[in-house]
């Protein structure tokens, strides 16, 4: 497992320590969990965009019409 050095405001680190203590965990575990969630959310977004791109590529619909700004924003 790799080590990471972070620079944080003293007050933020203190708040993180207190939160971790209340949750019976460590700041290290909090950061690890946050990064896992962040990376997972990014991965799921990219997978969803890839699926949307694949769906668009399979779509038979096409339009040669050029839409004007007014047409696109018409209410």
Predicted local distance difference test score (pLDDT) of residue 59: 80
Q: How far apart are CA 34 and CA 29, in angstroms?
A: 8
Asked whether residue 34 is assigned to any structural domain, the reply reads yes
Asked whether residue 43 is assigned to any structural domain, the reply reads yes
Q: How far apart are CA 53 and CA 44, in angstroms?
A: 14
Asked whether residue 42 is assigned to any structural domain, the reply reads yes
Asked whether residue 72 is assigned to any structural domain, the reply reads no
Task: Domain count for the chain, please give it.
Answer: 1
CB 20, CB 30: distance < 8 Å: yes
Predicted local distance difference test score (pLDDT) of residue 66: 82
Predicted local distance difference test score (pLDDT) of residue 31: 96
Domain of residue 36, residue span: 18-54
pLDDT tens by residue, the chain, 75 residues: 899 999 999 999 999 999 999 999 999 999 999 999 999 999 999 999 999 989 888 887 667 778 888 888 887
Asked whether residue 64 is assigned to any structural domain, the reply reads no
Asked whether residue 24 is assigned to any structural domain, the reply reads yes
């Amino acid at each position: 497992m790799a080590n990471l050095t972070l620079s944080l405001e003293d007050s933020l680190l203190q708040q993180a320590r207190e939160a971790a203590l209340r949750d019976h965990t460590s700041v290290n575990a909090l950061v690890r969990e946050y990064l896992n969630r962040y990376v997972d959310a990014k991965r799921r977004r990219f997978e969803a965009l890839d699926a949307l791109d694949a769906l668009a590529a399979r779509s038979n619909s096409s339009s040669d019409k050029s839409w004007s700004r007014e047409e696109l924003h018409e209410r």
